[in-house]
Structure 1
Amino acid sequence: MTDQRVIAVEEHFTTPDFLQRAHALDFCPGDRTEVELTRAVESTEPTRSQLLDLDARLAAMDASGQDMALLSLNPPGVQPYRPADAVELARDVNDELARIVRDHPNRFGGLATVTPQAPDEAAKEIGRAMGPLGLHGIMINSHTDGHYLDEPQFAPLLEAAEAHRAPIYLHPRVPSVLDPYAPYGLSGAIWGYGAEAGLHAMRLIMSGTLDRYPNLRIVLGHLGEGIPYYLRRIDNRYAFARRISGAATPMAQLTLTPGEYFRRNFTITTSGIDDPNALEYALRTIGDDNIMFAIDAPYEETAQAVRFLTSAPLSDVQRANISHRTAERVFGV
C-alpha cells in the first residue's frame, strides 16, 4: 500500500495521574460492574503498560506501517464519577493529551474526554479542546448513569459539538440495563457493548435529535455497531410504524428516513472487525467515504489490523478513503 497514510482513530491510552486519582474515587452505583472490570484491566499487565507506554505504541506503529493514531482516554473515561470530580479529571487528561499531540504532531491526534453528567462544563471543555488545545473531536462512552444524549439536559453539549465542529466518537460501554446481559459474559465486547452503542445511535436518530442538530457528526466503531446491516429493515419498519403511529406507537416526526440520517450524520470505523465480508457489506451500504480505519488498541492487535487494511479486496480509492482520507476530512488530521 504505497503512498497511503494509515490513520487509526479508536486508540486508547491513559496516564499515571488519571489511574491514581480515578481508581480512588467513588462511582455511580449502577456502574459498579464496569468500573471494577476497568480498574482490574488497567491494573494488570500487559494492558496497563500498553495503555501507558506511548514509546512502545510508536514502535508497534512503526513496525506495522501505521502512521498516526487518534488517542482517547480508556473507556468509560470520567463518566462514572461525580461531576465535581469528573470535570477536573477531564480537564487534566485533556491538557496531557494536548501535550502529547504537540510533542508528536505527525504521529498522534487526540479525542477529548468530557463530562455529560455536567453538560454546561462539557460544552466549555469542547470549546477548549477544539480551540486552544488543538484536539480533533470528543469521545463519549455511550450512556452516563443510564442517560442518553437525546435527552434534553444534554442540549448544551450537542450545541457545542455542532458549533465547534467536534465529531463525537460514540464508544460502547456496559449496557445501562444490565440484568439480561449479566449471564454468560454478554455485557462486554462479545455482545453488550455493540448492542448498547447501537441503541444509543438509534435513539439519536429516532428522537429527532439530528433534525435539531443537522450538522452533528457521530462516529461509531466496529463497522457501525450492527446498524448498517439492519438499515433496510429499519427503514421498512419505520415506514410501517408511521402509517399506524398513535398513542400505542409514539414516534418523533422526522424529516428524513433513519437510513438517510445514518448516511448523512454518521461515519463508521473498522475497529475490532477484520472481516472482509462485513466490510464489503458496509461499503455497499454507506460507501467508502463514510468508513475509517481503526484498531481499538491495545485491545486488538495493531499488526493484524494493518494487515487486514492492506490485504482487503479494495480499490485504490476505497483503500485511500478508509486508510486516511475520511479521517482527514472528519477529524481534520
Structure 2
Amino acid sequence: MTPPLITLEEHFFSASVPSDLQESYSEQFKHVNGIYDKLCDIGETRLRDMDAGRVSLQVVSHAPGLYDPAACRAANDQLAAAINAEEVRAGGSTGKSRFAGFAVAPMGHPDEAAAELRRAMTELGFVGALVDNHSNGKFFDGPEYDVWWAAAEELGAPVYLHPNFPGDDLAPRYKGNFSDAAALSMGSSGLGWHTETALHLLRLFASGLFDRRPGLKIIIGHMGETIPFMLQRIQALSRRWGDFRRDFKTVYDENVWITTSGVWSVDPLRCILANTRIDHILYSVDYPFQRNEVGLEWITELEESGLVNEEQLNAIAYGNAEKLLGIRAPKGV
C-alpha cells in the first residue's frame, strides 16, 4: 500500500518572474506540456496534480533564477499567502494543510539573503530555504557568505542547494558541434546542474564551513547530484584538502540529506542505500518539471523491488521529511 508522500523540490513561478528568466526555461516549456500554467498555479491545479500522484504534502519553492532582493521578498509573500489560503481551504488547520514553503533568497546579496531567510522563517512560517546553486557563477564558500550560513544554523533552517543554469563564465563550455538546444540541456538537467551542485558541496567542505557551522543542514536533489556514486573516492582524496575536525564522510552522514527528485530508476538507490543513512533519504518529484504520477510509479517499483522494508519505505516517503522539516503529512489525504 502506498504510504503518505511528502515532496520538497516542487516549484512555482511568482508574479515577480522577469521575462529573461522565462526565456531560460524555453526548453522545458517546449518539451513539458502545460508547464508554464502549472508553475504559475499554487491552488486547484497543483492540488489536483498532487492527488494524481498521491502526494499528501508539497513543500513549494520558487523555480531557480530569481536574484533581485525585492523580487525574492515578493515571491515569498505570494507563496505565504497561497499557503495561508490552503490552510483556510483545509478548515484552518495546519494539520490538514497540504502546502508548506521553502524561502527563495537573493544569494548575490548575502546580507539581504540572510535577512530574508530570517523573515521567512520567523514571520512567514517557512520550513527552510531552497536557493540557487550559484549566483552567476559565484559559489557560497567565501567569507562574505558566513552571515547567510550563520543565520541558517541559528534558525535550524535546512538549505536546499538547487541546481541553476550555468553562469556566464561556464555556459560556453557546454557549446560544441551540436545544436544550442543540446548545449542548453547538457549545461542544465542533462548533466551540468548535477556536477556543479556536487562541486559546490565539496567547496563548502574544503572551505572548513562544516567545522565552523557544524549544525548546518544541507539538502541536495537528484539522487545526491552524483556524490553517492563518487563517495568513496571523494572521502579518500578529500583528506588532502585540509585539516578538518570531521572528514567528508562524517559531514555527509551528519549534515547532508539527499532527495530522489526527477531520477526515476531504482538503480541509483541501490548505491545510495549502501553508503547513505536511511534517515537522510527523502522522496521528491521536481514538479511540475516532472509529473507526480511518474514519481508514484517509482515508489511502487521501489516497494516491489525488495530493496527496502516497510519501515524504510515509510521513512523515505514521508517520515524523514517530517523529522527534518518539522512538518506532518495530513491525515486522510
Tell me the equivalent position of 2:175: 182
2-side partners of 1:328 and 1:222: how far apart?
A: 19
Map 1:57-68 onto structure 2 (within 5 A): 57-68=46-57
Kept in 1: contact 2:28–2:289 (CA 8 A): no
Aligned residue for 1:10, secondary structure, equals strand
Aligned residue for 2:81, secondary structure, equals helix
Q: 1:91 to 1:235 in 2, by over 3 A?
A: same
Equivalent of 1:259 in 224, 231, 249: 249
Equivalent of 1:298 in 282, 288, 304: 288
Answering whether residue 9 of structure 2 is matched by residue 10 of structure 1, we say yes
Identity %: 31
Answering whether residue 73 of structure 2 is matched by residue 91 of structure 1, we say yes
Displacement after TM superposition at 1:270 (Å):
0.2
Answering whether residue 311 of structure 2 is matched by residue 317 of structure 1, we say yes
Kept in 1: contact 2:59–2:100 (CA 8 A): yes
Tell me the equivalent position of 1:141: 132
Kept in 2: contact 1:206–1:258 (CA 8 A): no
Aligned residue for 2:267, secondary structure, equals helix
Could you list the per-position Cα deviations for residues 266-286 of structure 1 after superposition, in whole angstroms to 9, with x for gaps in the alignment? 000000112112112111211
What RMSD in Å do the two structures reach over aligned CA positions? 1.9
Displacement after TM superposition at 1:179 (Å):
2.5
Tell me the equivalent position of 1:23: 19
Displacement after TM superposition at 1:287 (Å):
2.2
Query: What amino acid is the match of 1:228?
Result: P
Aligned residue for 2:245, secondary structure, equals coil
1-side partners of 2:22 and 2:203: how far apart?
A: 24
Query: What amino acid is the match of 2:113?
Result: A
Map 1:278-293 onto structure 2 (within 5 A): 278-293=268-283
Map 1:262-273 onto structure 2 (within 5 A): 262-273=252-263
Q: 1:42 to 1:126 in 2, by over 3 A?
A: farther
Displacement after TM superposition at 1:40 (Å):
7.2
Tell me the equivalent position of 2:62: 73
Structure with greater contact order relative to length (CA < 8 Å, sep ≥ 6): 2
What are the ranges of 5 or more consecutive residues in structure 2 without an aligned counterpart? 88-96, 177-181, 328-333
2-side partners of 1:37 and 1:45: how far apart?
A: 17
Query: What amino acid is the match of 1:38?
Result: Y
Q: 1:104 to 1:231 in 2, by over 3 A?
A: same
More displaced stretch, 213-222 vs 306-315: 306-315
Answering whether residue 84 of structure 2 is matched by residue 102 of structure 1, we say yes
Tell me the equivalent position of 1:246: none
Query: What amino acid is the match of 2:40?
Result: L
Tell me the equivalent position of 2:225: 225
Tell me the equivalent position of 2:122: 131
Kept in 2: contact 1:23–1:39 (CA 8 A): no
Displacement after TM superposition at 1:46 (Å):
1.4
Displacement after TM superposition at 1:148 (Å):
1.1
Kept in 1: contact 2:52–2:292 (CA 8 A): no
TM-score by length of 2: 0.86
Answering whether residue 320 of structure 2 is matched by residue 326 of structure 1, we say yes
Kept in 1: contact 2:110–2:144 (CA 8 A): yes
Kept in 1: contact 2:215–2:255 (CA 8 A): yes
Could you list the per-position Cα deviations for residues 285-308 of structure 1 after superposition, in whole angstroms to 9, with x for gaps in the alignment? 112200000000111121010121
Poorly superposed stretches of 4+, deviation over 3 Å: 39-45
Tell me the equivalent position of 1:36: 23
TM-score by length of 1: 0.86
Could you list the per-position Cα deviations for residues 153-191 of structure 1 after superposition, in whole angstroms to 9, with x for gaps in the alignment? 111111111111111000011233222223342212011
Q: 1:129 to 1:42 in 2, by over 3 A?
A: farther
Displacement after TM superposition at 1:45 (Å):
5.9
Displacement after TM superposition at 1:98 (Å):
0.9
Could you list the per-position Cα deviations for residues 18-54 of structure 1 after superposition, in whole angstroms to 9, with x for gaps in the alignment? 23xx227xxxxxxxxx773236756996111111123
Answering whether residue 21 of structure 2 is matched by residue 46 of structure 1, we say no
1-side partners of 2:46 and 2:22: how far apart?
A: 25
Tell me the equivalent position of 2:234: 234
Aligned residue for 1:210, secondary structure, equals helix
Q: 1:326 to 1:49 in 2, by over 3 A?
A: same
Tell me the equivalent position of 1:244: none
Query: What amino acid is the match of 2:156?
Result: R
Query: What amino acid is the match of 1:274?
Result: W
What are the ranges of 5 or more consecutive residues in structure 1 without an aligned counterpart? 25-33, 80-85, 242-250
Displacement after TM superposition at 1:254 (Å):
1.2
Could you list the per-position Cα deviations for residues 178-224 of structure 1 after superposition, in whole angstroms to 9, with x for gaps in the alignment? 22223342212011110111111111112111111111100000011
